[in-house]
Structure 1
Amino acid sequence: MKQQVLLYCFLAFYLLLGQSATPVLAQSIVTIPIESKDYALVLQTDSDQRLGITHFGKRLNNAAEYAGIKAMYKRDDNNVGINNNAYTPSGTWSLVEPALQIIHADGNTSTELRYVSHRKEVLANQVTQTSVVLRDPVYATEVTLYFKVYPQNNVFEQWTEIKNAEKGNIRLGKYASANLYFMGSDYYLRHYHGTWAGEMKPEETRLPFGIHTLDSKLGARANLFQPPTFMLSFDQPATENTGKVLLANLAWSGNFKIDFEMDPYHNLRLIAGINPHASEYHLAAGQSFKTPALIYAYGENGIGEVSRNLHSWARNFRILDGNGSRLTLLNNWEATYFDFDEKKLVGLFAGAKKLGVDLFLLDDGWFGNKYPRNGDVAGLGDWQENVKKLPHGIGYLVEEATKAGVKFGIWVEPEMVNPKSELYEKHPDWVIRQPERPEHYYRNQLVLDLSNPEVQDFVFGILDKLFTQNPNIAFIKWDCNAVIYNAHSAYLEKQKMPQTHLYVDYVNGLYSVLERLRKKYPIVPMMLCSGGGGRVDYGSLKYFTEFWVSDNTDPLERIFQQWEYSYYYPAITHCAHITDWSKVGIKFRTDVAMMGKMGYDIVVDQLKPEELEFSQQAIKNYQSISDMIWHGDLYRLVSPWQNPIASSMFVSPQKDRAIVFNYVVSNRYENSFSTAPIKLQGLDPQKKYRLSELNLFPGTRSSINTTAVYSGDFLMTVGFNPNLSLRRTSVLMEVAEVK
Structure 2
Amino acid sequence: MWTITGATTEYTVGDDLGLIAWGPIGVSDGPSPYAFHGRVQYMLEGDVAAVEYAPTGLRPFLGADLAVAGESLTWRLVSVDHADGLRASLADDVTGLVVDLFWRFAPGTDVIERWVSVRNGGPAPVTITRLGSAAFTVFGHDISYLSGQWSQEFTPSSVRLPRGRFEIGSGQGVTGHQFSPVVAISHGRAAYGIGLAWSGSWQITVDVDTAGLTRVRAGRALDGAPITLAPGESVTTPVASGVYSADGLDGLARQWHAYERGRSRDLTPRKVIYNSWEATTFDVTADGQLALATAAAALGVETFVVDDGWFVGRHDDHGGLGDWTPDPAKFPGGFGAFVSAVRDRGLEFGLWVEPEMVNPKSALYAAHPDWVYRAGGRPMSTIRNQYLLNLGREDVFEFVRDTLDGLLSSYPIAYLKWDFNRPRTESAPAADLDGAHIRNLYRVLDHLRNAHPSVTVEGCAAGGARVDLAMAARTDVLWPSDNTAPLDRLRIQWGFLSAYAPHLMSSWVTDAQGMFDSRERSLNFRFVLACAGVLGIGADITRWNEHERATATDWIARYKRVRDVIMRGTVTRIGSPTSSRCAIQYTLDDRVVVAAWNAGGLDGRDGVPGRDIRLPLHSLDPAARYGDYSGAHLMAVGLPVRWTPTYDADLFELRRR
Q: Shorter-chain-normalised TM-score: which range?
A: over 0.9
Matches within 5 A, 1:375-390: 375-390=316-331
Matched residue SS, 1:461:
helix
Aligned-pair CA distance for 1:340 = 2.4
Q: How far apart, in 2, do the equivalents of 1:388 and 1:550 lie?
A: 32
Q: String of CA shifts for 1:593-636, please: whole Å, max 9, x gaps.
A: 11010011123332211211121111111110101100111111
Q: 1:72 to 1:255 in 2, by over 3 A?
A: closer
Q: Indicate conservation of the 8 Å contact 2:574/2:581, yes or no.
A: no
1:704 match: none
Normalising by structure 1, what TM-score? 0.84
Q: How far apart, in 2, do the equivalents of 1:676 and 1:330 lie?
A: 34
Q: How far apart, in 1, do the equivalents of 2:622 and 2:508 lie?
A: 35
Q: 1:444 to 1:208 in 2, by over 3 A?
A: farther
Q: How far apart, in 1, do the equivalents of 2:333 and 2:306 lie?
A: 15
Aligned-pair CA distance for 1:499 = 3.1
1:728 match: 647
1:693 match: none
2:184 match: 231
Which of 568, 573, 591 is residue 657 of structure 1 equivalent to? 591
Aligned-pair CA distance for 1:38 = 3.4
Matches within 5 A, 1:268-667: 268-316=214-262, 318-321=263-266, 323-368=267-312, 372-470=313-411, 472-488=412-428, 499-582=430-513, 584-641=521-578, 643-652=579-588, 654=589, 656-667=590-601
Q: String of CA shifts for 1:319-340, please: whole Å, max 9, x gaps.
A: 331x222111111111111112
Q: 1:285 to 1:584 in 2, by over 3 A?
A: same
Aligned-pair CA distance for 1:432 = 0.7
1:495 match: none
Which of 182, 189, 192 is residue 143 of structure 2 equivalent to? 189
1:121 match: 83
Q: How far apart, in 2, do the equivalents of 1:585 and 1:484 lie?
A: 39
Partner amino acid, structure 2, of 1:658: V
Q: How many residues align?
A: 645
Q: 1:150 to 1:434 in 2, by over 3 A?
A: closer
Q: Indicate conservation of the 8 Å contact 1:80/1:264, yes or no.
A: no
Aligned-pair CA distance for 1:516 = 2.1
Q: Indicate conservation of the 8 Å contact 2:46/2:58, yes or no.
A: no
Q: 1:72 to 1:274 in 2, by over 3 A?
A: closer
Q: How far apart, in 1, do the equivalents of 2:58 and 2:182 lie?
A: 31
Q: Indicate conservation of the 8 Å contact 1:555/1:593, yes or no.
A: no
Q: String of CA shifts for 1:128-183, please: whole Å, max 9, x gaps.
A: x211112224442111111111364311111111111112221111110001222x
Partner amino acid, structure 2, of 1:36: G
Which of 1, 8, 22 is residue 38 of structure 1 equivalent to? 8
Partner amino acid, structure 1, of 2:393: N
Q: Indicate conservation of the 8 Å contact 2:484/2:512, yes or no.
A: yes
Aligned-pair CA distance for 1:295 = 1.6
Which of 626, 629, 647 is residue 710 of structure 1 equivalent to? 629
Q: Indicate conservation of the 8 Å contact 2:624/2:656, yes or no.
A: yes
1:56 match: 22
Aligned-pair CA distance for 1:421 = 1.1
Partner amino acid, structure 2, of 1:293: V
Matched residue SS, 1:553:
coil
Q: How far apart, in 2, do the equivalents of 1:404 and 1:527 lie?
A: 23
Aligned-pair CA distance for 1:92 = 5.7
Which of 147, 151, 165 is residue 103 of structure 2 equivalent to? 147
Residue 177 (structure 2) pairs with residue 210 (structure 1): no
Q: Indicate conservation of the 8 Å contact 2:146/2:495, yes or no.
A: no
Partner amino acid, structure 1, of 2:544: L
Matched residue SS, 1:160:
strand
Q: How far apart, in 1, do the equivalents of 2:212 and 2:622 lie?
A: 42
Partner amino acid, structure 2, of 1:518: R
Q: Indicate conservation of the 8 Å contact 2:150/2:462, yes or no.
A: yes
Q: Indicate conservation of the 8 Å contact 1:334/1:580, yes or no.
A: no
Q: How far apart, in 1, do the equivalents of 2:631 and 2:44 lie?
A: 52
Residue 617 (structure 2) pairs with residue 680 (structure 1): yes
Partner amino acid, structure 2, of 1:646: C
Q: How far apart, in 1, do the equivalents of 2:430 and 2:602 lie?
A: 55
Larger Rg: 1
Q: Indicate conservation of the 8 Å contact 2:480/2:505, yes or no.
A: yes
Q: How far apart, in 1, do the equivalents of 2:528 and 2:269 lie?
A: 19
Q: CA RMSD in A?
A: 2.0
1:492 match: none
Residue 134 (structure 2) pairs with residue 178 (structure 1): yes
Q: 1:499 to 1:515 in 2, by over 3 A?
A: farther
Aligned-pair CA distance for 1:465 = 0.7
Partner amino acid, structure 2, of 1:354: A
**Is the deviation greater in 198-207 or in 37-46?**
37-46
Q: 1:210 to 1:324 in 2, by over 3 A?
A: same
Matched residue SS, 1:375:
coil
Aligned-pair CA distance for 1:681 = 1.1
Partner amino acid, structure 2, of 1:340: V
Q: Indicate conservation of the 8 Å contact 2:291/2:542, yes or no.
A: no
Aligned-pair CA distance for 1:664 = 1.1
Q: How far apart, in 1, do the equivalents of 2:546 and 2:59 lie?
A: 74
Gaps of 5+ in 2: 514-519
Q: String of CA shifts for 1:349-383, please: whole Å, max 9, x gaps.
A: 21121111101100000112xxx211111111111
- How many percent identity over aligned positions? 30
2:46 match: 82
Q: How far apart, in 2, do the equivalents of 1:505 and 1:72 lie?
A: 40
**Is the deviation greater in 411-420 or in 301-310?**
301-310
1:168 match: 124
Matched residue SS, 1:177:
strand
Normalising by structure 2, what TM-score? 0.94
Q: How far apart, in 1, do the equivalents of 2:59 and 2:582 lie?
A: 51
Q: Indicate conservation of the 8 Å contact 1:674/1:725, yes or no.
A: no
Q: Indicate conservation of the 8 Å contact 2:446/2:474, yes or no.
A: yes
Aligned-pair CA distance for 1:272 = 0.8
Matched residue SS, 1:539:
helix
Q: How far apart, in 2, do the equivalents of 1:484 and 1:635 lie?
A: 37
Q: 1:674 to 1:557 in 2, by over 3 A?
A: farther
Gaps of 5+ in 1: 1-30, 123-128, 237-242, 489-497, 691-708
Partner amino acid, structure 2, of 1:677: R
Matched residue SS, 2:614:
coil
